[in-house]
Amino acid sequence: MVGAGVAGAMTALVAQRHGLHVIVVDDNATPGGQVYRQPSPYARAHVPADAERREGDHLRDKLRTSGIEIRSGHSVWSVTAGFRVELCHDEAMASLSAPVLVGATGATERFHPFEGWTDPAVTGLAAASILLRAGGILPGQRTVVAGSGPLLFSVAHQIMELGGEVAAIVDTASTAQWARMGATLVLDAARMGQGLAWMREIRRRKIPIHHRACVRSVTRRGSVVDVTIRSLAGNGRDVTIAADAVACGYGLRPSTDLSRLLHARHDYDGAAGYWQCAADPYGRSSIDGFYVSGDGAGIRGASVARLRGILSGHAIAHDMGRIDSTTFADLCRPVLSRLRRLDVVSRQMVRLMNPGGIVLANTEADTPVCRCERVSRATIEQAIDDGAHEINQVKSWTRCGMGPCQGRMCEDSVRQLLAHRTHQGPDVVGHYTTRMPLRPLPVQAVTGTYTYADIPLPKAAPL
């Protein structure tokens, strides 16, 4: 099991309950994933406890007493068919082998470039949420919150809760899109109540909300930054606001490193604007023995991830002969019913997280699209004009996506530019090919400890 968020934890608990030996590997210090990340002692003292913290603590307690082997702080850097999983922990290597592998690696935050997005004052929405919830730290005393999806309003709420000021909320969605979302939320009363509470507080504090807008640029001015906001509707002038920080992110997309490395089948979700590993409702992928649980099979939120984890645990037990088909069907029926109900809401939420053609509307020629390799929009478009009509060809010609993040930050932007420039669908231009190592490795982990005196030298050639 790779990943100890809610989906991985539930898969592990259910599979272990059916008598299977389970090992959970996670690169975080403690289980919980992003939503249920364990807060620091400082955050526990200064951030008001909420339902997510209580659920996270309960989940960690269940794992702690379950007897499941949990290897926290272990990074997976390679997976091969079979399944052999290569790990790195504290500059030491290890490997595991098992007949079944579950990828519960969650989601990756989606970024799109704008002028000044590499300034230290700019952080992702998910990163800001980690600072706030797990660290009890404000990204800045006065923050512009920008991007798309419900995380916008969640982060704004967290900033206010910690005593910070939200200078403005910049949302790519329209009020009409949110109205449609509200009509669907009646199917999920808990989420609807939470959203209404956030909006009441935002209105009470008279925080400006710019709908159908995006951050055009961030310009450093001494200890503050000037944040320029542009309307995506093409009407009105740009608005500039002074702030200490900008928290900006354009929704989430599935983390597909493992599934791509194993060459599982992937499908492009046009409504969501991302590739996801193809899987049935139980997490079974196109590769026998490889299951995808939670957001890796499509972003649907923590509640759906929990249900997907339960279904995957039952499916693994059934496929390995631990329970019969009748028992399997009886166990899954109520879970599937609840899943279908929540999925209607989640699908609408995913549409709100897809900003559409924001790169095309908002990125100047000299703006770096690939932060790792400093590749600009102009360089990418020149490669496309020169004949690079597939995303890995653009990667090869420009080095865009070859840096330490391996394209996690730039792939969506490159796909958007390529699809527009070549008049192809985003599903046609493809996705980056994943290579190992999946994460940067310390040199010492690869080489071990040695001195030059340990290197055998050939005898000198005779004179």
For residue range 11-58, what is the model confidence (pLDDT) as tens digits? Answer: 999 999 999 999 999 999 999 999 999 999 999 999 988 888 999 999
For the segment 215-226, the average pLDDT, to the nearest whole number, is: 96
pLDDT of residue 454: 79
- Lowest average pLDDT, out of 61-70, 136-145, 439-448, goes to 439-448
pLDDT at residue 10 greater than cutoff 80 = yes
pLDDT exceeds 90 at position 183: no
Average pLDDT over residues 347-359: 85
The strand pair at 213-221 and 274-277 is best described as unpaired
CB distance 133 to 37 below 8 Å: yes
- Domain ranges across the chain: 6-108+253-351, 111-250, 364-429
H-helix segments, 373-454: 377-385, 391-398, 411-422, 426-429, 443-447
Work out the number of other CB atoms within 10 angstroms of the CB of residue 311.
Answer: 27
Checking if the pLDDT of 2 tops 80, the result is: yes
pTM (predicted TM-score): 0.91
Least confident piece of the model among 24-38, 374-388, 437-451: 437-451
pLDDT band at 195 (very low <50, low <70, confident <90, very high): confident
DSSP 344-371: HHHHHHHHHH---SHHHHH--TTSEEET
Q: Percent of the chain having pLDDT more than 90? A: 79
What confidence score (pLDDT) does residue 114 get?
Answer: 95
The pLDDT of 268-280, averaged and rounded, is 94
Residues 364-429: name the CATH superfamily. Answer: BFD-like [2Fe-2S]-binding domain (1.10.10.1100)
Tokens representing residue 380 in the block: 């990418």
CB 353 within 8 A of CB 249: no
Give the pLDDT band of residue 179 (cuts 50, 70, 90): confident
Taking the C-alpha atoms of residue 414 and residue 411, their distance in angstroms, rounded to an integer, is: 5
Beta bridge partners of 463: none
CB 383 within 8 A of CB 398: yes
CA dist 138 and 44 (Å) reads: 15
Question: Which amino acid would we find at residue 136?
Answer: G
Give me the CATH code for the 111-250 domain, please.
Answer: 3.50.50.60
Confidence of residue 181 (pLDDT cuts 50, 70, 90): confident
Do 6-108+253-351 and 364-429 agree at the fold level? no
∠ CA 39-41-46 to the nearest 5 degrees?
A: 85
CATH class of 6-108+253-351: alpha beta
Q: pLDDT tens digits for 282-320? A: 999 999 999 999 998 999 989 999 999 999 999 999 999
Average pLDDT, the chain: 93
Choose between 182 and 420: higher pLDDT. Answer: 420
Q: Which pLDDT band holds residue 344 (cuts at 50, 70, 90)? A: confident
Exposure class string for 96-126: b at 16+ Cβ within 10 A, else e: beeebbbbbbbbbbbbbbbbbbeeebbbbbb
